[in-house]
Structure 1
Amino acid sequence: MPQPLVSVIIPTYNSEKYLAEAITSALSQSYHNIEVIVVDDGSTDNSLTIAKSFESKKVKVFSQQNKGAGCARNKGLSQATGNYIQYLDSDDRLSPDKIAMQLAVLEKNEGKIAVCSTIHFNGDSLTPANIPSPYEDSFLYDDDDPVHFLTDLLGGYREHGSMIAIHAWLIPKEIIDKAGPWNEELTIDDDGEYFCRIILGSKGILKTPGISYYRKYQDPDKIVAYKQNKEKLFKSALKAVLLKRDYLRSRTNNQYAQRAIHRQLMQLAVLFYIDQPALYQQVEKELKHYPAYKFKPVLGGRAINFISGLFGWKVSKILQYYYAKMLRK
């Protein structure tokens, strides 16, 4: 039997420092029947040149005007010929056995998707001492019920939910096709909205060995872009949550699913309060459709969270606002 082809899709924008490392981690997989598709999203640094230095029968490179990561991933999907899709951001990495481990179980479990643990590390500080987060790992398990898995991930069964890095997944192409393309209108939480569709479109989730490495670092360009486009980003965050609500509601509207969406909305309420009053009012309107589930936001350090526990998160947010304003003087 021929080995299935895995397409590794890498969108990149001004990632010259780490792009070669990401591509190399894809090419260094112990499973060899892969193609790497790099889509440069209008970079102004040397990212495209670096990508082209890897160009070969195994590595395809495309470029486009700057339209966002979702659009770049859709471009990669349109060029992919693999039976499975592996997403990989240009500053992240995969362990050499990641794809092999996941493919081994997916080939025996039609219609399912695979997920692995993620190690978070700062900048260039990845060492053998870095391990996956036990908290995040508690949300990763075999589950034949995608609705249950997603509800848990969004916080329906616990005090808090979790996140999964996009490159932790390996997904059969037929599930990708059924879920539809990345929503190019979303500029934040586009991955949360997309993988909500992917999870619900599967027959279950399989937790496998192998590691995805998620690099955390302060990117000055991203910080500036966030400050300049804050309202647009916040509108995207609200739209993504409302879409996730609709997807989950189409499958179930039990109390746990309602609690999960309530938690997502409450996170936005905390984010929008003071800073985005119009969006905050929209969230408050949505929250009226849900019971007042217990919600305990994490606002910062121990002191501010203690104040939040005593006087409520709104008081704490006001104190944070005026304290930050005082520091800027």
Structure 2
Amino acid sequence: MSPLVSIIIPVYNSALYLAEAINSCVNQTWQNIEVIIIDDGSTDESLSIAKTFENERIRVYHQENKNAAAARNSGLMKAKGDYIQFLDADDILSADKIEKQVTLLAANPGMVAVCSTIHFTDGHQPTEFEPSAYEEAFLLNLPPFDFLFNLYGGKNEGQGSMVQPNAWLCPKNIIEKAGKWNEDLTLDDDGEFFCRVVLASKGVTKSAGYNYYRKYQGNKNLSGLATQKHLRSQYNALSLKILWLKAKNPLPELTNMHARWLHGLLFKAYPAAPELMRQIKNDLKTLKASIRPEYPFGTTSGKLLSMVFGWKFAKRLQLFKYQLRKKPENSGKLS
């Protein structure tokens, strides 16, 4: 009998996109699937939309609002599959994604599979876009530590990448070995979780198929405006990832990688989280890494301003410009 794949969809106020996500599961060429939808206290029509799909293969559950990690853990407890596929409620899987990965993992026991991610703009068809050539360069068939060290920028002086959760397909027994999602984390919870999963495997293998990751125009998120709770979560996730990596292979190069991560987080934390900034500075003193800090301004003008006036001045100017752009958009709205 062919292996069962459990697709776990955490849902919170995703009524606009949920049906499309579920249909991408139903239309998989690998038909031996179960879809587990965990509504995490949605206040829109998400739960009622999910209920319209409910049948012997699609199960819908509701819980009080916690967070996505808690919803995924609820799904894992209910999953009966040999393999686990996570899917965000506003994203899509290509029809052959699961079949390609199950077939590959059957030939490579003990490994986890990853596929290409296509970032597509909301309002457009996913097939209009191509995978990022930059991200593709990090999707290599490598042993666990080597894959993560390369992904995190250890081999490229900080220029790393990321893997969006939908891109993975993991044997359930490897996830059980790695442990459940950390529900105390709200930012980079996926990075910390899959760090443990990859390290619990025999390695990573790249498959065909696509993960379609929805991006939004006029994205209101700015890294420098993250809440203190999210910034603290990212710090904790970063610290845990370094801990797991060192336990696997205490390479001296991990010190410089850790320091680069901390400098990036220091940039995000300024000026909103002074307590976290003090902790990061203390960590950097303890590490004594021999690197030249670089801050992610993203524009040539920002980098030039930081070189002339310092990164803090350039960051404040960046935030001021962001607020000016945002002001007309919010005028007349209730806070």
| TM superposition score normalised by structure 2 | 0.91
Aligned to 1:314: 312
- What are the ranges of 5 or more consecutive residues in structure 1 without an aligned counterpart? none
Assess if the C-alpha contact under 8 Å between 1:155 and 1:263 holds in 2. no
Assess if the C-alpha contact under 8 Å between 1:154 and 1:261 holds in 2. no
Matches within 5 A, 1:72-221: 72-143=71-142, 145-159=143-157, 160-217=159-216
Shift of 1:216: 1.1
Aligned to 1:240: 237
Question: What SS does the aligned partner of 1:78 have?
Answer: helix
Shift of 1:147: 0.7
AA of the residue aligned to 1:320: Q
Structure 1 Cα separation of the partners of residues 212 and 139 of structure 2 = 16
Assess if the C-alpha contact under 8 Å between 2:228 and 2:272 holds in 1. no
AA of the residue aligned to 1:130: F
> Alpha-carbon deviations, 1:146-167, whole Å to 9, x = none?
1111111111111411111100
AA of the residue aligned to 2:68: A
Which stretch of the first structure deviates more once superposed, 248-257 or 97-106?
A: 248-257
Assess if the C-alpha contact under 8 Å between 2:67 and 2:186 holds in 1. yes
Structure 2 Cα separation of the partners of residues 101 and 12 of structure 1 = 26
| TM superposition score normalised by structure 1 | 0.92
AA of the residue aligned to 1:279: L
**Relative to structure 1, is the Cα distance of residues 138 and 318 closer, same or farther in structure 2, using a 3 angstrom cutoff?**
same
Assess if the C-alpha contact under 8 Å between 1:151 and 1:256 holds in 2. no
Shift of 1:312: 4.7
Question: What SS does the aligned partner of 1:85 have?
Answer: strand
1:249 and 2:246 aligned: yes
**Relative to structure 1, is the Cα distance of residues 219 and 64 closer, same or farther in structure 2, using a 3 angstrom cutoff?**
farther
Task: Identify which of 263, 268, 286 aligns with 1:266.
Answer: 263
Structure 2 Cα separation of the partners of residues 9 and 189 of structure 1 = 18
**Relative to structure 1, is the Cα distance of residues 326 and 109 closer, same or farther in structure 2, using a 3 angstrom cutoff?**
closer
Structure 1 Cα separation of the partners of residues 321 and 164 of structure 2 = 33
Aligned to 2:333: none
Aligned to 1:37: 36
AA of the residue aligned to 1:264: W
Matches within 5 A, 1:50-89: 50-89=49-88
> Alpha-carbon deviations, 1:100-156, whole Å to 9, x = none?
11111101111100000000011121253300000011110111x211111111111
Shift of 1:306: 2.8
Structure 1 Cα separation of the partners of residues 267 and 275 of structure 2 = 13
Structure 1 Cα separation of the partners of residues 283 and 242 of structure 2 = 11
> Percent identity between the aligned chains?
46
Matches within 5 A, 1:288-303: 288=285, 289-303=287-301
Which stretch of the first structure deviates more once superposed, 78-87 or 285-294?
A: 285-294
Shift of 1:219: 9.4
Question: What SS does the aligned partner of 2:127 have?
Answer: coil
Task: Identify which of 278, 286, 303 aligns with 1:281.
Answer: 278
AA of the residue aligned to 1:285: N
Shift of 1:311: 5.3
Assess if the C-alpha contact under 8 Å between 2:266 and 2:280 holds in 1. yes
AA of the residue aligned to 2:59: K
**Size of the alignment, in residue pairs?**
324
